[in-house]
Structure 1
Amino acid sequence: MNRQIHIKQQIFRIVFVIAILLFVASCKSAKSIVASGKASDKLSAKQVIKQHQKSDADFKTLQGKVKIEITQNQKEQGSTFNLRIEKDKVIWLSAKLGLARMMITPEKVRFYNKLDNEYFDGDYKLLSDFVGVDLDFNKVQNILLGQAIFDLKGEPHTVSVNENSYALQPKDQNALLELFYLINPSHFKMDSLQLFQQLKKRILQVDYKSYQEVKKQILPKDIRIIAVEDSEEVAITMEFKSITLNEDIRFPFNIPTGYKEIVIK
């Protein structure tokens, strides 16, 4: 296999696993959220931003399972993963039988794959280059919680009503990167995150299909991600199950000896 093509495939694998990590949801006793609110054109951008920031989920730890289906190059595959999170510190994901495992912290992105005997141990540059956004741990965590990835108070925004969502966007859009948030009027979490880079032919769209309440915290339930770069497209759907909050959890991670390092140049 051509080395460049192989590296490209590994990038998509890593991005796929990261995408799995980006979302948190249900538990057995979780209650589905009925979005009955109606968006009002009387709310200002500052008011929408304030309510959105209030909606940020508050928990110490999370663990559970997530069923993932991924479609790439007209091929579909799915599996169930174990997910563990310590808020602001660690996001950990493990496939069945530990065949693949990922752990990200504010400092590092680490991943190994027993099927290919390969591993990645590096910073966020790989992910940032792929999606065209300067990512860090906080941005990843905000996405998984249904929160805006940039500081909404850092610059002025405009708001309008779009199909019963609050369409929030920077007042001065960057010519190289267009950013849109659709905010739900019932609980003020995101309905959708949309990033467009026309010159580089990149699109990242995250649609939050539904939410639910877990121990009084409103969290995403069903997610769909579409990532496009040139003619490459990956579509991911997720169903979250058996999530529990604030229990003692561990994050075992040890790259097996003899594995080949994935180097992205």
Structure 2
Amino acid sequence: MRKEQNNKTIQFTKVISVLILMLFLTNCKSAKSVIASGEASNNLSAKQVIKQHQKNDAYFKTMQARVRIDLIQGDKEQGLTFSFRMEKDKVIWLSAPLGLARMMITPENVRFYNKQDNEYFDGDYALLSDFVGIDLDFNKVQNILLGQAVFGLKDQPHTVSVNENSYALQPKNQSTLLELFYLINPSHFKMDSLQLTQQLKKRILQVDYKSYQDVDKQVLPKDVRIIAVDNADEVAINLEFKSVSLNQELRFPFNIPEGYKEIVIK
């Protein structure tokens, strides 16, 4: 089992590495940064925090950006700025410079290909899920990218407390298999941090939102750090969203070239 998980992690890391074949740095005009000036109050209940968090979910049809990704694994670090497109609730699309590699995520599947090794993957969310340590689907991936809670907050009662000027939100009855914590920002009620721990499997997923930006009156993440720990193995991914624009007409071209070898994850 451990060997299978390592294989999936290696394959996912390989995909990211392929996306980082060449640096494509751009000097783009950035959106206005959101200054967090609110103060967390002990007077707000968990239901009130949840209501504000859901109220401030971003509403748009499409999103386009340049995204800088840095992958850190041990003493190795690689980085690339590439194209990012999203049609909310339908598709997330990434493209490396010159089309050297592309990834497209839909509610049904995860697909990618790279031209360096003439390989492609066309499958489900098992690859991404094993990489981050939780069962993922399209909505969870989208919510992580938009600074929203990954699980339904109304599905069960939560408790809230103030932790270093964030609202610390957690299920009232934590699962013994999966411990979940959210830190909610008191200014715009988006996530400051998401923390998931699987004690038995010694796996941790932490997503820290370093800063947000205001794009057409929508509060969207600007700098995000994702840390996935599996026993002693740790991988960190830094995301920086630049030149974000909303509600433009977008295309999502994706065709796996003929003759490519399929990556099969067993």
Normalised by the length of structure 1, the TM-score is 0.91
1:16, distance to aligned residue in structure 2 (A): 8.2
| C-alpha spacing 1:15/1:182, structure 2 compared with 1 (3 Å) | farther
Partner of 2:89: 88
Partner of 2:69: 68
1:126, distance to aligned residue in structure 2 (A): 2.4
| C-alpha spacing 1:246/1:193, structure 2 compared with 1 (3 Å) | same
What SS is found at the alignment partner of 1:52?
helix
Q: Distance in 2 between matches of 1:74 and 1:68?
A: 16
Structure 2 counterparts to residues 225-240 of structure 1, below 5 A = 225-240=226-241
What SS is found at the alignment partner of 1:48?
helix
What SS is found at the alignment partner of 1:187?
coil
| C-alpha spacing 1:3/1:205, structure 2 compared with 1 (3 Å) | closer
Partner of 1:218: 219
Q: Distance in 2 between matches of 1:28 and 1:195?
A: 34
Contact map agreement 2:18 2:101 (CA 8 A) in 1 = no
Contact map agreement 2:8 2:131 (CA 8 A) in 1 = no
Contact map agreement 1:169 1:179 (CA 8 A) in 2 = yes
Contact map agreement 1:56 1:147 (CA 8 A) in 2 = yes
Contact map agreement 1:15 1:127 (CA 8 A) in 2 = no
Q: What amino acid is aligned across from residue 185 of structure 2 in structure 1?
A: N
Contact map agreement 1:65 1:80 (CA 8 A) in 2 = yes
What SS is found at the alignment partner of 2:192?
strand
Between the two proteins, what is the percent identity of the paired residues?
Answer: 75
Q: Distance in 2 between matches of 1:9 and 1:32?
A: 35
1:52, distance to aligned residue in structure 2 (A): 0.2
Structure 2 counterparts to residues 134-153 of structure 1, below 5 A = 134-153=135-154
Greater shift, 116-125 or 173-182, is seen at 116-125
Q: Map Cα deviations across residues 113-146 of structure 1 (whole Å, 9 max, x no partner).
A: 2222211101112223333322211111111110
Partner of 1:205: 206
What SS is found at the alignment partner of 2:209?
strand
What SS is found at the alignment partner of 2:69?
strand
What SS is found at the alignment partner of 1:11?
helix
Contact map agreement 2:59 2:218 (CA 8 A) in 1 = yes
Gaps of 5+ in 2: 20-27
Contact map agreement 1:202 1:227 (CA 8 A) in 2 = yes
Partner of 1:245: 246
Contact map agreement 1:7 1:262 (CA 8 A) in 2 = no
1:31, distance to aligned residue in structure 2 (A): 1.4
Q: What amino acid is aligned across from residue 255 of structure 1 in structure 2?
A: I
Gaps of 5+ in 1: 19-26
| C-alpha spacing 1:89/1:16, structure 2 compared with 1 (3 Å) | farther
Q: Distance in 2 between matches of 1:178 and 1:75?
A: 30
1:12, distance to aligned residue in structure 2 (A): 2.9
Q: Map Cα deviations across residues 33-62 of structure 1 (whole Å, 9 max, x no partner).
A: 111100001110000000000110011011
Normalised by the length of structure 2, the TM-score is 0.90
Partner of 1:189: 190
Q: What amino acid is aligned across from residue 87 of structure 1 in structure 2?
A: K
CA RMSD between the two structures: 2.1
Greater shift, 179-188 or 95-104, is seen at 95-104
Q: Distance in 1 between matches of 2:210 and 2:132?
A: 22
Contact map agreement 1:28 1:243 (CA 8 A) in 2 = no
Q: Map Cα deviations across residues 160-192 of structure 1 (whole Å, 9 max, x no partner).
A: 000000000000111111110000000000000
Partner of 1:116: 117
Q: What amino acid is aligned across from residue 251 of structure 1 in structure 2?
A: F
What SS is found at the alignment partner of 1:248?
coil
